[in-house]
Amino acid sequence: MTIAASSPAARLPHPILLWIAQLRAWAFLIVLVLFFETWSRSADGTSFLFNVYNIQSILVFATAPLLLALGQTFVIISAGIDLSLGFVMGLSSVIAAHASNFFTATLGLPPFVAMLAAILSGAAIALVPGLVNGLLVSRLQIPPFIGTLGMYGVARGAAYLFAAGMTVAIDNDWYSAIGNNRIFGVPVLVIITGVACLILHYMLSQTRFGQHTYALGASKPAANRAGIGIKGLTLRIYLLSAVMAGLAGAMYTGRFTAGAPQAGEPLLLDSIAAVVIGGASLFGGSGTIAGTIAGALVIAVIQYGLVFINVEPFWQFIAVGVVIIISVFADQTQRRLMGGRRVE
């Protein structure tokens, strides 16, 4: 972990304050779990935390927004944003469903091979909007908010056109098993998402690509002077973000045995919220995959926990909104405590 100071005279805050700032999402997650555990035990004597079904449900519930958030993490660290992810996920879900049916029914491929081909097809189609997003932002200098918002509409229309306005059912036992089976009690979806988290954590923290992403978000002019190929880097970041949305769409098709154009529509804001709650700054230059994981789990626990204690589901939106506001306030407070320093 490196700390870039804005001036030599800048002072570091107390180590405890720095530690709290970096781990606030995990601390808040613990507080949430303890709250729901206490509420559940006092209300009807049941346990919220020590319940295998609850844990599995929360983890599965978090997989789709977390997959979106993993790619979004790179984009936000680079001082950008990707508003197209929700319908890129929907488009990939529909294409994966059509591909599964084509490879199984038309070509007669074995179900396992058809499943792999369908997942690859869903992820591959996401490269198209990712490429366009990257070119709009890097080559044409269109603000990420506007460029990806335009792609939001394009991907949305394409998803509904390919689906003919309906869900696309699949008939592939292997594919449905990916979305609903467990290995040693752990849902396959959770295992796949966990592997993706490890890979992207390594990319962000241990590779030149990750370090350049931080540098781009911290100061674009400085990154340019350092010899970083900003245009190529930006393009790769948006391609990575889109591929993760494509994987999320392909996994959605397996989980619900159908592709749906609106699959990711309610998850876009959750993906951004997970990154922000996890400690990434919307100004760019800071954030971690571990923080994003914590942010996604915070949202999943809030949404599942409120249902578990029989609170109206509409309170979920209020609760997540409040957490986002608190997280942004905490980020601004951290920036003031750091005296202009940046934590990576």
Per-residue pLDDT of the chain (344 residues; tens, 9 = 90+): 343 433 333 343 445 544 555 677 888 899 999 999 998 888 887 888 888 889 999 999 999 999 999 999 999 999 999 999 999 999 999 999 999 999 998 898 999 999 999 999 999 999 999 999 999 999 999 999 999 999 999 999 999 999 998 999 999 999 999 888 999 889 999 999 999 999 999 999 999 999 999 999 988 999 989 899 999 999 999 999 999 999 999 999 999 999 999 999 889 989 999 998 888 888 888 889 999 999 999 999 998 888 888 887 778 778 888 887 887 777 677 666 655 444 44
Beta strands in 13-53 (DSSP E): none
The per-residue DSSP string of 220-280 comes to HHHHHHTT--HHHHHHHHHHHHHHHHHHHHHHHHHHHTEE-TTTTGGGHHHHHHHHHHTT-
Q: Which CATH number fits domain 16-38+45-336: 1.20.120, 1.10.3470, 3.30.70, 3.40.50?
A: 1.10.3470
Residue 180: Cβ within 10 Å count: 15
Domain ranges of the chain: 16-38+45-336
E strand map for 22-177: 168-169
Considering the entire predicted model, what is its pTM? Answer: 0.89
The SS3 assignment for 4 reads strand
Per-residue pLDDT, 339: 54
